[in-house]
Amino acid sequence: MGIDLGSTTSKAVIINEKDEIIGRGITNTRANYKVAADIAKLEAIYDARFTLLTQKLEAEIAKKPEFKKYIADTRAVFQYLQFKHRVDRLTEELLKSASTMRTESKDLVVDHIRNIMDKIVPEIRNDFVEGDLATKNEFFRDIVSERYNREVELIDKELFESLLLAYDKSITPVENEMVKYDFEKLVYEALDILDEKYNGLAEESTAGESLGFDVELNLLKGNYKQAEDSLKQHIGDIARQEIHIANMVGTGYGRALLPFPDDCIKSEILCHAFGAHAVFPDTRTVLDIGGQDTKAIQVDSRGLVTSFHMNDRCAAGCGRYLGYIADEFNISLNELGPEALEADRETNICSTCTVFAGAEVRELLNVGEKRSNILAGLHKAIVMRAMSLLARSGGVRNEFTFTGGVARNQAVLKYVGQMVAESYGDDIVMNIHTDSIFMGALGGAMFARRNIEVDLPAKKRKAAKAV
């Protein structure tokens, strides 16, 4: 297992003996690295169980592809149940902090909190069970905050501060609580919820309503019971199967806080390079744009780092820059890229500073600049910073692998592609992987796996001394 404790998100990856990722866990880091590491780790283990489950059912999935959809659904509901537990705790905390407030409108605040939570929790349930919230990789805080804030804005302005204060007080302790679930029990609960869902679907369609074009769903509504049965056959085994973590390596900014021996702590430069090189073996240049730093790494044919450059001074050019801009525009991080792609031109953003870019953006909006154009300009600005870092590190060599959370942003990808082609030729192959955010953790996991095979520096040294 590799754990990458980034300054913004914490990632955990479990690999098998072939360096294939079988479990991924991700959470936001916030203040507590220790909890973030534990949560990511636990999630990776649940994820690994689902992977094992999918593997067990491989033969059946081959015959009936719609089973895959059923497993994905189970997983989504499973996530919802985890979420539900935490959100119930949040409601408790919210009510507790509201009732200890020293304001006259205390009772009113309590009522409002009840109403808000009564409204948003079922809404979120629906998004998990019927929608695609589970696949969006959103964190607990973001899911709740977005909806909570929306509701607060509808309420009397005088209560605004009290409602937000209660929220700010409650969210962090709840987020930092470690909760262990009984995997099997939770899966069974998930299956029950799915029963309802598919039963409902079956009834709806007999009532003559079409399910649209979702072929898998159409197929499933008929034989979901069969899928459920197969799943149930294996679930006990999988739940009881001990996921033995043979070794762990920690990386990322918070790595020093992990209770690992020195040998099991590696710098994120090495881990990112190693991870990227493993996924794309012809990689020579790696660009990693994370939350609070950007790295340009040059590697040789063996995946060894030959040189690197980091921007760790300034948030402009890192993921947080986009986060800040998203806040300024009051939209979610996931919406930034798609909107920027709608631009007809890129507004020139001269600011090199995150905070001042915010001021520049407001000024541009005032003079009537289109939002999508501004966003495009901002995306271009962050990529230009990354390009300058790449140039400092020795340029882009073929092949070029782009990793980190920001590599999921389509607009960033567009500009990176454009600018790399302009500066280094259009024959440069650019690699992006859906797991790009996990590259550091993957590299860590690979180091961990190799450490077992005695090629660990310290072990070697010890061995040499022993002789």
Partner 1 sequence: MSTEVKKEKSMIIQKEMIAGLFKDLASVKESGKKVVYTFIPGNLSELIRSFDMLPVYPEINALQSGMRKKSGEFIREAERHGHSEDVCTYVKCDVGMMIKGNIGPTGEKLPDPDLLLLSYTGCFTFMKWFETLERLYPGVPVALIQSPYQEDATITPEMTEYMVKQLKEEVIPKMEEVSGQKFDEEKLKGILKLSAEAEDWIVKIFDSTKHRPSPIDAYFAGVYYIGPINIGFRGTQEAVDYYKELYKEVQERIAKGLGPITPEGVMKEEKFRLVVEGPPNWTSFREFWKLFYDRGAVIVASSYTKVGGVYDYGFRHDSEHPLETLAEYCMNCYTNLNLPQRINLLEKCITEYHADGYLTNSIKSCNSFAAGQLMMMRELEERLEIPVGFIETDLVDPRYFSYSNIKNRLESFFEMLEQRLLIEQD
Which residues would be at the binding site for partner 1 (CB under 8 A)? 253, 266-270, 302, 304-310, 312-313, 392, 394, 455, 457, 460
67 vs 274, which CB is nearer to partner 1? 274
Least distance between partner 1 and beta carbon 305 (Å): 4
Least distance between partner 1 and beta carbon 382 (Å): 20
195 vs 312, which CB is nearer to partner 1? 312
Least distance between partner 1 and beta carbon 441 (Å): 16
294 vs 372, which CB is nearer to partner 1? 294
Least distance between partner 1 and beta carbon 267 (Å): 4
130 vs 455, which CB is nearer to partner 1? 455
Least distance between partner 1 and beta carbon 395 (Å): 9
Burial of 446 (0-12, 13-18, 19+ CB in 10 A): buried
325 vs 441, which CB is nearer to partner 1? 441
Least distance between partner 1 and beta carbon 141 (Å): 25
- Cα torsion angle, 260, 264, 269, 274, sign: negative
395 vs 417, which CB is nearer to partner 1? 395
Integer Cα distance of 272 and 276 in angstroms: 6
362 vs 392, which CB is nearer to partner 1? 392
Least distance between partner 1 and beta carbon 450 (Å): 11
283 vs 373, which CB is nearer to partner 1? 283
Least distance between partner 1 and beta carbon 5 (Å): 12
Least distance between partner 1 and beta carbon 389 (Å): 11
96 vs 392, which CB is nearer to partner 1? 392
